[in-house]
Chains A and B, each alone.
Chain A
Amino acid sequence: MATAVSTPTMDPNVSAFVGAKRKLFINGKFVDAASGKTFPTYNPATGEVLANVAEGDREDINRAVKAARAAFDTGAWSKMPTAQRGKLIWKLADLIEKYQEEFAQLESLDNGKPLRISRVADVPLTVEHMRYYAGWATKIEAIPSRSSSGSGRNFLLIHFANRLEWLARLFRGISRC
């Protein structure tokens, strides 16, 4: 089991979060790794284990790719009206804001940065960032243009921006770049 550090100011939800084994999130559900393995994440201020996390590997990645591919190919997300898509991203920003203290504490415990900096910089910037892109969801448009070549025929030229299914970030152990 994880030996979570007890700090007087720790949010009870954060203690509970680090105290239980954390699972992978695949296809809308929290699941164990296919291998059953877990790995520890450490509190860098003490070197002690902070939490145990399901250890994703090739098979879990395969499951996640299948789920992401299906959500894309069926159009559940990619063909959702963009206003609705923007609204969901905005809602996510609202939820991050609602639980901002938990995020600030988790960031601080996991990557070591001062709590007061996570509170005023990292978490609010994340919320702003999600809202900024919620606004972009309705603004990715096709561009019509006129033929430049003067071949004598008229053409309607349109550049569409089509989406890629994409993957991931693996990021360095910090919360900003």
Chain B
Amino acid sequence: MAAWKLGPALAAGCTVILKPAEQTPLSALRLAELIQEAGFPDGVVNIVPGYGETAGAALSAHPDVDKIAFTGSTEVGKLILQAAAGNLKKVSLELGGKSPNIVLDDADLDSTIPGAASAIFFNHGQCCCAGSRLFVEKKIFDKVVDGVSQIAEKIQVKAGFEPDSDMGPLVSEEQMNKVCGYMESGISEGAKAVTGGARHGNKGYFVKPTVLVNTNDKMKVVQEEIFGPVVTAIPFSDPSEIVARANDTIYGLAAGVWTSDIKKAHSIAAKLRAGTVWINCYNIFDPALPFGGYKQSGWGREMGHEVLENYTEVKSVCAALD
């Protein structure tokens, strides 16, 4: 994951201090050994694990740092922005999402149903771009919900090292409690879990893949980022109203559209306020495809050539020739 920032920053000639998340520092530290082995000059890449409140805060506020690139929650993104104000360091932010995944009634359900399940359950829903609001045209709503729920029930929730594991634990106890709290909140407000709805087992931080129905657009489970394997399935009857509902959160990171009519797909894609729109696919990443968010999903784009703007300043030089 560090590669998303490290690659372009190094290509641009920047030197780097990498502060990995306190929950997952190990692969960055293994990378440090390879940076040494590759023969990078000393100090080009420095890796300093620690907590956000201490190491992260010191880095964000440091007067000799010119630029900060952060991936994480919108809440922490705002703290970083405040800390960065001291020396007005440049900031790019890749933050949260509550991405709509829209299924029209002419979609090919054989690919749409597994696609919609994977959109939310991939990486246990711990994807900032997870397709966590599944909007389905009324005529096919029951069929799609049924299909996604059947897939959810078959998902093997086990430790990542088990060979038949499809879904591992959430990253921390805190995250597990947060996700369970959201499910309880939704259910207490009238939502129904077609499948899942609770913790899985009592050891490790596992949560059952969950499909919620009977929600309304104002519920916390529909508005806020859960960052877990929980999808809210929402029927709609009028395709002309769907864009407004899809855009109705503070986020704008990604979206999906499933239809066999490419004209409809592009018409919706053009109106969605989202940095990435996947048509008849989801969670496709490519180094050449810029990624980032509208609204409170962040500032700037990663990947593609666009990301290089994050790590360079433009200097205009004007020379008189006569």
The answer to whether the Cβ of B115 comes within 8 Å of any Cβ in the partner chain is: no
Minimum CB–CB distance for A91 against chain B, Å: 5
The answer to whether the Cβ of B65 comes within 8 Å of any Cβ in the partner chain is: yes
Q: Are A25 and B26 in contact (CB under 8 A)?
A: no
Q: Are A45 and B8 in contact (CB under 8 A)?
A: no
Complex Cα spacing A42 to B241, Å: 45
Set of chain B residues within 8 Å of A68, measured between Cβ atoms: 15-17, 43-44, 46
Extra contacts, 14 of them, besides A9-B163, A169-B4 (Cβ < 8 A), are: A17-B30, A33-B50, A47-B205, A53-B26, A58-B55, A66-B64, A133-B10, A161-B308, A161-B312, A163-B13, A166-B14, A168-B17, A172-B126, A177-B129
Q: Are A57 and B22 in contact (CB under 8 A)?
A: no
Q: How many chain A residues have a CB neighbour from B under 8 Å?
A: 110
Can you list 25 A-B contacts with CB-CB less than 8 angstroms, sorted by A residue number?
A22-B25, A25-B29, A39-B22, A44-B170, A44-B172, A44-B205, A45-B160, A45-B204, A56-B48, A61-B17, A65-B65, A67-B42, A71-B44, A92-B34, A111-B24, A116-B165, A118-B160, A140-B312, A166-B68, A171-B21, A171-B71, A172-B21, A173-B172, A174-B127, A174-B171
Set of chain B residues within 8 Å of A125, measured between Cβ atoms: 285
Set of chain B residues within 8 Å of A44, measured between Cβ atoms: 168-172, 204-205
Interface residues in chain A, defined as those with a beta carbon under 8 Å from any beta carbon in chain B: 7, 9-10, 17-18, 22-30, 33, 39, 41-42, 44-47, 50-51, 53-58, 60-62, 64-72, 76-80, 82, 85-86, 88-89, 91-92, 95-96, 99, 102-103, 105-118, 122, 125-126, 128-130, 132-134, 136-137, 140, 153-177
